[in-house]
């Protein structure tokens, strides 16, 4: 699996339509998609999944009115329950010996450990995409979501114990069995385990809210500075694990703390808001913001780490009420 910063052919998105996920906010959510497409399309293709022709027409009109580069946007009629293509869509891998070839892993999507039965229907999306891509498909009898793994393209993979050791995913697999599966399906030879995820995360601790590679040896790690906050202890523990971790050559990783946006809530319920849920594309990084004083600091850190990419803040306070942000709704297709 290539690192996210390696060249993309395209970014895959699913056009938002689920009113139950964002009661009274769907128009705001669509505006976030418009901002993402406008930032991505000048730099790589954008593939948009839509439920039907009516949805396509509405999305096309909205994007054109906003001035998006529609020559780089392609619509595909593949119905979805919701927008979390990172988790239910394909996770792409490439063959690099000799002729470069594209393939993807199609894991079981079980609604994040069976929490949302109606969402299981999105398990079919990756299979529906296969004919569009002409890519080889590796089907695996393992429940796993794309947001639960993070790779550096050089043999290392991050994940969390809270998610992949959770009995609601693969109770038949031991830690060693999961490590072997990740090594086989992603082409990695090192699995680095973190502990728990952030408060409000109904995915059972996805890594893309916690720690992200920004190059092969540098990691940003979400860190809560307020000891009274629920995220303080688990994020401190993850930070300590990372500071003790080494790469495949026995060298310590460079760990860069990334602030948290404090307690973001909806109707009193804590939401999984994190600046680590950014997306790296060709020439640009899309980073979530939450109308918090730490927005500026987080964007500044990312701009220092990505000097050759434009770092664009996308207001995600409405989006995170659906329990996810930018990285959760995007999926990169590598250029081969």
Domain spanning 8-332: which CATH class is it, in words? alpha beta
Task: Give the residue extent of every domain in the chain.
Answer: 8-332
Handedness of CA 166, 217, 107, 280 (dihedral sign): positive
Residue 221 to residue 243: CA distance in whole angstroms: 10
The rounded Cα 109 to chain-centroid distance in angstroms is 15
Considering only CA atoms, which of 197, 177, 110 is closest in space to residue 145?
110
| Longest CA span, the chain | 55
Active site residues: 328
pLDDT in tens, the chain (336 residues): 999 999 999 999 999 999 999 999 999 999 999 999 999 999 999 999 999 999 999 999 999 999 999 999 999 999 999 999 999 999 999 997 767 799 999 999 999 999 999 999 999 999 999 999 999 999 999 999 999 999 999 999 999 999 999 999 999 999 999 999 999 999 999 999 999 999 999 999 999 999 999 999 999 999 999 999 999 999 999 999 999 999 888 999 999 999 999 999 999 999 999 999 999 999 999 999 999 999 999 999 999 999 999 999 999 999 999 999 999 999 999 999
Taking the complete model, does pTM exceed 0.75, yes or no? Answer: yes
What residues contact 86, with CB distance under 8 A and at least 6 apart? Answer: 145, 146, 147, 208, 327, 328, 329, 330, 331
Distance CA 244, CA 254 (A): 10
Residue (of 329, 271, 259) closest to 35 by Cα position: 329
CA distance 332 to 336: 12
The C-alpha atoms of residue 238 and residue 259 are separated, in whole angstroms, by 14
Calpha distance 272→224 (Å, rounded) = 13
Residue 94 to residues 4, 78, 335, Cα–Cα distance (Å)? 13, 24, 9
Q: Residue 179 to residues 2, 211, 215, 223, 246: CA-CA distances in angstroms?
A: 18, 18, 22, 26, 17
- Best CA proximity match to 143, nearest among 202, 59, 193, 203: 203
Q: Could you give phi then psi for residue 83, rounded to 5 degrees?
A: -100, 5
Under DSSP, the state recorded for 308 is T
Tokens, residue 103: 């393939």
């Amino acid at each position: 699996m290539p690192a996210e910063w390696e060249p993309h052919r395209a970014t895959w998105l699913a056009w938002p339509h689920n009113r139950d996920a964002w009661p009274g906010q769907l128009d705001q959510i669509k505006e976030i998609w418009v901002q993402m497409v406008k930032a991505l399309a000048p730099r790589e293709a954008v593939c948009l999944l839509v439920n039907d022709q009516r949805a396509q027409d509405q999305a096309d009109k909205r994007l054109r009115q906003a001035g998006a580069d529609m020559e780089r946007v392609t619509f595909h009629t593949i119905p979805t329950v919701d927008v979390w293509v990172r988790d239910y869509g394909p996770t792409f891998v490439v063959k690099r010996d000799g002729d470069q070839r594209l393939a993807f892993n199609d894991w079981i999507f079980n609604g994040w450990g069976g929490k949302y039965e109606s969402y299981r229907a999105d398990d079919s999306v990756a299979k529906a995409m296969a004919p569009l891509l002409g890519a080889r498909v590796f089907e695996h009898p393992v429940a796993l979501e794309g947001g639960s793994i993070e790779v550096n393209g050089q043999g290392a993979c991050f994940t969390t114990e809270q998610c992949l050791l959770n009995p609601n995913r693969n109770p038949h697999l031991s830690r060693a069995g999961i490590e072997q599966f990740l090594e086989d399906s992603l082409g990695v030879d090192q699995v680095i385990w973190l502990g728990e995820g952030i408060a409000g995360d109904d995915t059972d601790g996805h890594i893309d809210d916690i720690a992200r590679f920004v190059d092969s040896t540098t990691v940003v790690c979400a860190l809560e500075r307020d000891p009274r906050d629920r995220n303080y202890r688990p994020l401190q523990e993850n930070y300590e694990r990372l500071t003790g971790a080494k790469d495949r050559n026995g060298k310590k990783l460079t760990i860069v703390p990334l602030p948290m946006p404090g307690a973001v809530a909806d109707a009193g319920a804590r939401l999984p808001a994190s600046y680590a849920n950014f997306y790296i594309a060709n020439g640009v990084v899309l980073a979530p913001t939450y109308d918090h004083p730490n927005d500026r600091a987080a964007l500044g850190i990312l701009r220092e780490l990505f000097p050759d990419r434009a770092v664009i803040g996308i207001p995600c306070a409405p989006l995170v009420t659906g329990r996810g942000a930018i990285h959760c709704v995007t999926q990169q297709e590598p250029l081969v």
